[in-house]
Amino acid sequence: LLAPLIGGQAFSLVQAAEISLTAASSSVGVGQRIEVVVWLDASGDDINAIEGKVFFPPASLELQEIKDGPSIINLWVKQPKLGADRAIHYLGLIPGGYVERHGRLFTMIFQAKEVGLAELLVSQTKILLNDGQGTPAPVTFKNLTLKLVPVGLIPTNHEPLGNGQILDLDSP
């Protein structure tokens, strides 16, 4: 992608593939389950392989299940699986490449364990281009923060819990 000439020289705008985490809601009740989907946005690159990890706080979220389909990954070298470091590891190939914007990699199902915030982080991700050389592609991340709340109560910030306590979801 070429940008306009500046000072007589063209410069290129660097695009980056993006790995993002999404859930149907940003809040979940303690004891309830929530699905978190890992997505790939190729941003115009032709992607052939992807490897990475997803970290989550095991004190706040209990991993119940990992679904590796439906997925844009045609061949799992390492199916998404919980590792000894308490992260979900994955490595997959996309023969023929992938250039689209919203490709599902896999889905994680968690159960909320305690009230608070739970941050899920994409990390140590490598993406290779479908160029016959395995050229590394630039990659960005969109992590996810979930609000874990008492069952039946989806509070706004600083909402009373009914027992004289205040749940402050904005505190560090």
**Chain segment 19-73, per-residue pLDDT in tens:** 999 999 999 999 999 999 999 999 999 999 999 999 999 999 999 999 999 999 9
| Cβ proximity of 34 and 110 under 8 Å | yes
* pTM to 2 decimal places: 0.80
Tell me what pLDDT residue 152 has.
67
- DSSP-derived letter for residue 136 is B
DSSP string, 71-126: -S-SEEEEEEEE-TTSEEEEEEEEEEEE--S-EEEEEEEEEE-SSEEEEEEEEEEE
Q: Cα Rg for the chain, rounded, in angstroms?
A: 19
